[in-house]
Structure 1
Amino acid sequence: MEKLTIGIIGAGRIGRMHAENIVYIPNVKIKTISDLFIENAKLWAEQIGIQNVTTNYQDILNDPEIDAIFICSPTSTHGSIIKEAARAGKHIFCEKPVSFSTEETKEALEVVKEAGVKLQVGFNRRFDPNFKKVHDTVKEGKVGEPHILKITSRDPEPPPAEYIKNSGGLFFDMAIHDYDMARYVIGSEVEEVYVQGVNLVDPIFEELGDIDTAMTILKFENGAIGVIDNSRKAVYGYDQRLEVFGSKGSVTAQNEHPTNVEISTKDGVYKDKLKHFFLDRYKDAYMIETHAFIDSILNDKPLVCIGNDGLQAELIAKAARESFETGKPIKLIREEYSLL
């Protein structure tokens, strides 16, 4: 395939970000974007050269000129759209998670497998140059056998109540990125999950049946142990750190700042606050993952983050929620969906 025509479903923050990245990629055209509230996006779409806007995403699926789609709509719609798109012969990029139900995710993956199309799940942190360097360092054996994984993932401020209501909760919305990163970096499946969670940031989380602060302990099949701490509010910025400690040493990815300038005076040493949020911190990662998806279609290359990766992260998130609710460690019954 020499050229790729894309449709984007969802014109919210993530959909627009993907569109603005794609328009600069050679041999790729965004033909149509859909959203229930597309009137709010018409001018923006016109400015970046998108030909068609629609409120009906099926206009995209029924268009024979469109080869692939980006699903950037609410998570509750992902599973059904994946199945429809696969049956329509479209390659699929879907933002995380695939769904809030592992059963629905498995159904969607089965349809994708039967249709023979590509499905990439949007765990963008795999494509972050810093985290990928950690992954590569571990895979190359430079720190020996992994013993301990530490991930810190803290948002700069809580999301609004409307978002919390439909987010799926901290485990499926926020920590699921870290669960995927844990599998990716350690190179082993998770066999047990234990969680402690509390509400310390804002009572709205408890009112809506969610938590805002959590600690997850993971036990991997290769014997390593992982610790992940999540908070919905770090007053100093978007806190994203990762360390793998092994038998031969350790490898660490630190936070990013707008600049690396450091000012030293008699009063102290100062540098910029952390990058504020995920669109700043992971700007490059989003671009790289989009290029990877497009390259996999144009040049028939393997995907980095397949459907099974989405399923495994959801299984960990499901176990984390169960552990939080029961106060007990939860053993995972792992399922594999190859080539998805």
Structure 2
Amino acid sequence: MKQLIQNLKTGETVLENVPIPQVGRGQVLIQTRRSLVSLGTERMLVEFGKANLINKARQQPDRVKQVIEKVQSDGLRPTLEAVLRKLDQPLPLGYCNVGTVLALGEGVTDLRINDRVVSNGSHAEVVCVSRNLVAPIPINVSDDEAVFTVIGSIGLQGIRLLNPTLNETIVVIGLGLIGLLTAQLLRLNGCRVIGVDIDETKCQLAEQQGITVFNAAAGTDLIKSVLAFTNTIGADGVIITASARTDELMSQAARMSRQRGRIVLIGSVGLNLNRAEFYEKELTFQVSCSYGPGRYDNVYEQQGHDYPIGYVRWTENRNFQTVLHFLASEQLDVKTLISERVPLADYARIYGDIKSSHRIASLLTYPEEISLSSRINLKSYRYKQGTGTVGIIGAGNFTGSILLPALKSAGATLKTIASAGGLNATLLAKKYGIAQSTTDYRQILADTDIDLCIITTRHDNHSRLTIEALQAGKHVFVEKPLAIHDHELAQIIDAQRASDRMVMVGFNRRFSPFVQKMNVLLGKPEIPMNVVVTINAGFIPANSWVHDRAVGGGRILGEVSHFVDLITYLTGSLVHSVCMNAMGQSPTETSDSASLLLRYENGSTGVVNYFSNGSKAYSKERIEVYSLDRTLVLDNFRQLTGYGFKRFSNLSGRQDKGHAEQIKRLLAQVRTGGASVIPFNELINATQTTLGALQSLRENRWIDVAGIGVGPELVPP
């Protein structure tokens, strides 16, 4: 299938060939018939992409601050590489889609195949959208009309926040597509509407819809005009749908408002507010968030849990339904807003001249016959026996920024990469010369050419995919964590024993040249030592999937196992017991500021301080080892300092956390056989330790880790 994407590095808009997405639980697979180009939003993306690095930085000053902090902690070169990688990740364009249902995921029972629906799907021949972002189209609403539903909901949500009453005077600043729809909806609400813009064509179109219009470019004094229209009272409310970097629009909105008036921002303008203008009138100001309640809420949008109507009357889906109702009853006119209909293949007619002011709404039309393949071949492929051919399940940021460069550097034979949506996998396949892209990971498991399956999906899929890959006869490399529940660990052990295949977890820190040097300096591992690891992890918003116990497992499970493995490697021993304390009066299993105390079988002790509330300017990782009157301090995997060593004092260099070396050794092991690069019992022990840490927090005591998930007699050597 074809999909439109925007390259933020070059500014190029591309029609990419990608496999169709896989429909998951609670999702709807839709074949597109129409999509609407949001000229304002998409123009900003195109212009941002075409800007040079300096102008990109000027447009995003907050990101510049983050870059400076990363330079201070990680160094210039890693930071520059990270920025360029981020810009090299193209974005799907579009969010106003109409199509017919191709397939329904588990749990979707109120739609049928071939139903016409609207969604916030992108400009693609096939889209996969969560049920709460899909609404059925009434029979008397055409595709051309229905495609305005999502963008109409943006204006509708701004109106709901403003809460206008009958006969109030509302000013709409900015008469682009959202502004014109907002003005119409306000009139349907019984309001007197004033429209403001600088484009005469848009002003004339608004006048045809019965809206009082003031052209700001014609020398009209907007403040005096609004005051005259309202008999000197001022506007009851102002909705700003314009896009401008200036602060003047906010100032104008304040000055034209009445005492205790309301201002809602839907567009994007400067927000350096004049306190006096707001203070003297006691004005209320609010920013509107997209389509309505539920937006950006993972529980609502991805997990499909609706808000009770008695508590949240208007969700984003109910806003979709409202716009469709107005279209069905012919109260909302959108036909006059259509500037052009362009076949998807001719997208350059729109995007090549996206700054054009004469357009209001551009519609993309789609062919009825399309390719529905879940796999595409990007280059010819020839399998070489014994090379260790790789299939990758997961195409996120870690795969593209860390794993694939390491695999290419190690000379891996990359055959197939899979992602649920298809786009990310296809783009990475093109960039790294991978032969095939697919949305069906089972094609990797069924491929007898593939020896090694690499799994980099969300955490809740790790154990299941690891077991499936082992049962398919594949060696497995899985990003941490290996499992997020006790029972998953037992199932992985059983599957590994039955398959006699290798399992490797992405515990890369032990392969860093700095850690390798520490291991040599410390000498005999049977001598007990103290190891303290401090992780300045940084803040992740509470609504992130990482904090969801059922999906991400929490950051302790997701990340701390890295450092348990590192201490295990340095001490040469397994963890015997663990105790964890977390910040807060009632810490939960997903707390991300905690300290773990580790007792090792050989008498060593470990401490892992994992904190999310530190300064970004401070080093992210610090490892201290105390043994035989000697001390080693590793700062952020860039500088190792020794105290008490006769022939060593310092080692510094480029930050290296061991990813490349781990992949190099992994491929060598797959190709030649022999002992696992990391002993399987150490992988199990690290996972048991983090699961035991959560149990320790729940039960407020030390936990022996050997029996977690399995009986101690079942843990393999």
TM-score range, shorter chain: 0.7 to 0.9
Deviating beyond 4 angstroms after TM superposition, the runs of 4 or more aligned structure 1 residues are none
CA–CA distance in 2 between the matches of 1:239 and 1:313? Answer: 21
Report the counterpart of residue 76 of structure 1 in structure 2: 460
CA–CA distance in 1 between the matches of 2:436 and 2:666? Answer: 23
Counterpart among 285, 297, 301 of residue 658 in structure 2: 285
In the TM superposition, residue 306 of structure 1 has moved relative to its aligned partner by 3.6
Secondary structure of the residue aligned to 1:23 is helix
The 10-residue stretch of structure 1 (286-295 or 129-138) with the greater mean CA deviation from structure 2:
129-138
Counterpart among 406, 410, 427 of residue 21 in structure 1: 406
Counterpart among 171, 177, 183 of residue 568 in structure 2: 183
Q: Report the AA paired with residue 338 of structure 1.
A: P
Counterpart among 431, 435, 438 of residue 47 in structure 1: 431
In the TM superposition, residue 247 of structure 1 has moved relative to its aligned partner by 2.7
Is 1:9 paired with 2:387?
no
Counterpart among 211, 232, 250 of residue 612 in structure 2: 232
CA–CA distance in 2 between the matches of 1:149 and 1:209? Answer: 24
Q: Report the AA paired with residue 152 of structure 1.
A: T
Secondary structure of the residue aligned to 1:92 is strand
Counterpart among 474, 494, 513 of residue 90 in structure 1: 474
CA–CA distance in 2 between the matches of 1:249 and 1:151? Answer: 17
Q: Report the AA paired with residue 405 of structure 2.
A: E
Q: Report the AA paired with residue 190 of structure 1.
A: V
Normalising by structure 2, we get a TM-score of: 0.41
CA–CA distance in 2 between the matches of 1:174 and 1:89? Answer: 28
CA–CA distance in 2 between the matches of 1:256 and 1:116? Answer: 35
CA–CA distance in 1 between the matches of 2:638 and 2:474? Answer: 39
Is 1:221 paired with 2:601?
yes
Is 1:149 paired with 2:531?
yes
Secondary structure of the residue aligned to 1:33 is strand
Is 1:253 paired with 2:634?
yes
CA contact under 8 A between 1:146 and 1:245: conserved in structure 2?
no
Report the counterpart of residue 37 of structure 1 in structure 2: 421
Report the counterpart of residue 169 of structure 1 in structure 2: 554
In the TM superposition, residue 281 of structure 1 has moved relative to its aligned partner by 4.8
Secondary structure of the residue aligned to 2:389 is strand
Structure 1 gap ranges (5+)? 259-274
Normalising by structure 1, we get a TM-score of: 0.82
Q: Report the AA paired with residue 249 of structure 1.
A: R
Q: Report the AA paired with residue 592 of structure 2.
A: D
Q: Deviations over 1:13-47 (max 9, x none)?
A: 22223123212333x31111001012234233212
Is 1:158 paired with 2:543?
no
Q: Report the AA paired with residue 51 of structure 1.
A: A
Q: Report the AA paired with residue 227 of structure 1.
A: V
CA contact under 8 A between 1:148 and 1:226: conserved in structure 2?
yes
CA–CA distance in 2 between the matches of 1:63 and 1:256? Answer: 38
Report the counterpart of residue 262 of structure 1 in structure 2: none
Secondary structure of the residue aligned to 2:687 is helix
CA contact under 8 A between 2:410 and 2:660: conserved in structure 1?
no
CA contact under 8 A between 2:417 and 2:425: conserved in structure 1?
no
CA–CA distance in 1 between the matches of 2:604 and 2:591? Answer: 27
In the TM superposition, residue 257 of structure 1 has moved relative to its aligned partner by 5.4
State the number of aligned residues. Answer: 310
CA contact under 8 A between 1:154 and 1:238: conserved in structure 2?
yes
Alignment CA distance shift 1:300-1:37 (3 Å): same
Secondary structure of the residue aligned to 1:304 is coil
Is 1:212 paired with 2:585?
no
Alignment CA distance shift 1:187-1:8 (3 Å): same
Root-mean-square deviation (Å): 2.7
Structure 2 gap ranges (5+)? 1-384, 640-652
In the TM superposition, residue 160 of structure 1 has moved relative to its aligned partner by 6.3
Report the counterpart of residue 137 of structure 1 in structure 2: 521
In the TM superposition, residue 239 of structure 1 has moved relative to its aligned partner by 2.2
CA–CA distance in 2 between the matches of 1:44 and 1:332? Answer: 39
CA contact under 8 A between 1:91 and 1:118: conserved in structure 2?
yes
CA contact under 8 A between 2:418 and 2:425: conserved in structure 1?
no
CA–CA distance in 2 between the matches of 1:195 and 1:36? Answer: 36
Alignment CA distance shift 1:93-1:195 (3 Å): same
Q: Report the AA paired with residue 289 of structure 1.
A: Q
Q: Deviations over 1:67-121 (max 9, x none)?
A: 1110111221122222221222111111111111232122212212221212111
Q: Report the AA paired with residue 590 of structure 2.
A: D
CA–CA distance in 2 between the matches of 1:41 and 1:89? Answer: 23
